[in-house]
Amino acid sequence: MNKIQITGGRLIDPANGIDRTGDVYIADGKILSVAARPDGFDAGFTIDAAGQIVCPGFIDLSTRLREPGQSRKGTFKSETRAAAKAGFTTLCLQPDTVPVIDTPAVAELVRELAEKAGYPQIHPIAALTQKLEGIELSSMLSLQRAGCIAVGHANRPVKNLLILRRAMEYAASHDLLLIFRPNDSWLGNNGCAHEGMLATRYGLPSIPEAAETIALAQCLELAELTGCRIHFGQLSCKRSVIKIQQARNDGLRVTADVAMHQLHLTENDMIPFDSAYHVLPPLRTEADKQYLRTGLAAGTIDAIVSDHQPHDLDAKLGAFPETEPGISALETVLPLLLKLADDGALTLFEGIAALTSKPAQILGLKRGALTPGLQADVCIFDPAETWTIEAANWKSRGVNTPFWGQTMKGRVTHTVQAGCLIHPTA
């Protein structure tokens, strides 16, 4: 499929400040033109996007596909089908696979699995330390050369701050991006819910917001000391947003994201002992949720992530504290984004920027835009179409979502990755 014409859609391209009706022309895997028809262009395939929105393909900064190592929960094939159905064209894979992404050989395995699944735009995040044990540094430069887009530590703790400092100095010397989820695991103490009314009422082990903010403050101090570029992942509370804004005012090179579910759910939404609500960081207060929304609209929080974590049924059975945290989240990102816009939390233009151009800037990728000459990654969605979350239309192998059975508004109709139509497929 060498040439594609997308006609009559509402084009929203935050990177280029575009919000208007028009056509997109694709040839040889690249954006050939926007609005103006190129001379002699003869489309091999035409997509009628009338009444729909055409935007750059979504970029996810935090995904788990469960391969290698946990294929009972998900595979590259199953989870990339879910990603394509959800409008995502680029995924960043967290390093806590089995084995951990701490050698070039594992990074190469990730690339091979991605190619085999027909979804090549999966970027591994290299482990900051060997086996994510927080003791010995990994060979970050070798991992970068093997295709890793950044370094990180997933949800695992680094054993001490000296090791984190050395890792940040190493990363800074090679201009490597460090993706860091702030969490003091000792303060967290294996908790499973926010330290608040719900945890007290039901006797659940709790995690104070200080577990996040203290780890964030420590990392910010080290960022100032080392000059390392830091991206903070999955913020969950008001005080973290305030600290990020203060750090930016001080000139630190820091960015941040928030998981989509944190913008919609709070501890008050949790059905007691329903493990679909077991996430890390935990669902916080209504005030935290509202401040996360404010921080996103103000640009203090740069990006929205899915934090996709599919699980098998066994992982979510048992007592709430004993279940594994995480939501199968890719397929609900778009309708939840549209709900944010409907709620007035941010504009659709701002929301699309948080899923396209801003993640691309953080990663240093020439993607996330409908700029002529760039790779043709495009998402087309109908903002008015409704659908119900159920087995008949769910692609991910993980059904662990608190939104199961709910009716959502907004559905992706077409996803184009590097000029190839990956959703729908034949």
Residues annotated as catalytic (active site), given as ranges: 307
If one counts every other C-beta atom within 10 angstroms of the C-beta of residue 71, the result is 15
Whole-number Å distance between alpha carbons of 405 and 85: 18
Whole-number Å distance between alpha carbons of 6 and 380: 9
Residue 409 near residue 383, CB atoms below 8 Å: yes
- The Cα-based distances of 337 to 255, 311, 353 in angstroms read 20, 23, 11
Tokens representing 238 are 């008001």
**CA atoms lying within 13 Å on the CB side of residue 69:** 13
CA 96 distance to own-chain centroid: 15
Helices and strands in the chain, H and E counts:
12, 18
Beta strand 18-27 with 3-13 is antiparallel
Residue 380 near residue 25, CB atoms below 8 Å: no
If one counts every other C-beta atom within 10 angstroms of the C-beta of residue 373, the result is 9
Q: Apex CA 255: angle with CA 288 and CA 107, to 5°? A: 115
| Amino acid identity for residue 245 in this structure | Q
Residue 303 near residue 378, CB atoms below 8 Å: no
Strand intervals (E) in 196-236: 206-207, 230-232
> DSSP alpha helices (H): ranges in 227-311?
238-249, 286-298
| Cβ neighbours for 169, distance < 8 A, ≥ 6 positions apart | 226, 228
- Whether the bond between 124 and the residue before it is cis, its omega within 30 degrees of 0, is no
- Whether the bond between 56 and the residue before it is cis, its omega within 30 degrees of 0, is no
